Amino acid sequence: MHGRTRPELAEAEATHRAIALAEMANATGVFRPPVLQLTALSEVIAARDRGRPVFAETCPHYLFLDSSVYDDDGFDTANVSPRPLRKRPTSRGSLARLRTDDLQVVSTDHCPFCLNGQKTVGEHDFSKIPNGGPGIEHRLQLLYSVVQPETAATADVRYSPTTPARLFGLYPRKAPSPSARTPTWLVFDPNGHTTISADTHHMNVDYSLYEGWAAHRSVRTVISAGRAVVEDGLFVRQARPLAGSCVEKRVDCSDGKETKVGTGAMATKDWSWRSGFAAGRGAAKNV
């Protein structure tokens, strides 16, 4: 029932309507939260081919899982997200669209509701299941494990911190940049392997969407705000309390009033940073 109440055509129509309204209002940009199926994504692609500043994201569970998880007679509440998983050809198509920059961002939709006592509340009524799942810990690792090795690191950086920071007025103060306030370093072992499990992950949640999966390549070192958080693949210490800082963005209001330091592409219509990442299809095929 979860998927039937959210048909693919409804997603495509909602995407078309949002883009059309933004275009009529001459909005500075449209950012489409997770796009699941190719009919909706075609609306994004068509708008970008017209030169419209339209961007879209996806999430790891939409790239690697599919609607077969709903086929079990014992319906698994763990896999219920705001947008239902689709058939396998759709999830494979989304991965291909990353390679051609028709999708520009990989986020997580991280909603770490526990399975027992929270997700299972809707075991006999799907409308009561809290939507979403845990995914933030393994997002980069899963993405890194499927893109071409020679461009994996560049792809991870572009899809995760860099493009969102540019879109929402946080670059270069946030994302990989010499002027970033709190640079974070992540070192992958290209020859490593990780078995994903709720027994070993560090998220405060009692299940994993990828239980038992063997992920190629592994996280070796993480340095946050100058302190090691992971060493030799082992979590060694909590990051310093309140080590981060609030990075304010600026929005240029139409009435001329306004706002905080720094502007973003979504506010200023400055798309000069996306050379090789331009509107339209096939901007980057080596990912």
Q: CB 203: neighbour CB atoms within 10 A?
A: 15
In a domain, 62, yes or no: yes
pLDDT tens-digit readout, 167-183: 887 777 776 655 555 66
pLDDT at residue 111 is higher than 50: yes
pLDDT at residue 279 is higher than 70: no
**Using 50, 70 and 90 to split pLDDT, how confident is the model at 96?**
confident
Q: Which residues contact 191 (CB under 8 A, 6 or more apart)?
A: 217
The pLDDT of 114-139, averaged and rounded, is 87
Q: With b meaning 16 or more CB within 10 Å and e meaning fewer, what string describes 236-273?
A: eeebeeeeeeebebeebeeeeeeeeebbbbbbeeebee
Q: Which residues contact 187 (CB under 8 A, 6 or more apart)?
A: 219, 220, 221, 222
In a domain, 183, yes or no: no
Task: Write out the H or E segment, with its range, that includes residue 214.
Answer: strand 214-224
- What is the distance between the alpha carbons of residues 119 and 132, in angstroms, rounded to a whole number? 9
pLDDT at residue 193 is higher than 70: yes
In a domain, 94, yes or no: yes
In a domain, 65, yes or no: yes
pLDDT at position 218: 87
pLDDT at residue 153 is higher than 90: no
pLDDT at residue 273 is higher than 70: no
- What is the distance between the alpha carbons of residues 195 and 86, in angstroms, rounded to a whole number? 25
Domain coverage including residue 60: 8-175+249-274
In a domain, 140, yes or no: yes
Decide which of 178 and 142 is more confident: 142
pLDDT at position 168: 80
In a domain, 266, yes or no: yes
In a domain, 161, yes or no: yes
In a domain, 241, yes or no: no
Domains: count for the chain: 1
Q: Assign residue 47 the CATH number of its domain.
A: 3.20.20.140
Which of 34, 265, 52, 41 shows the shortest CA–CA distance to 167? 265
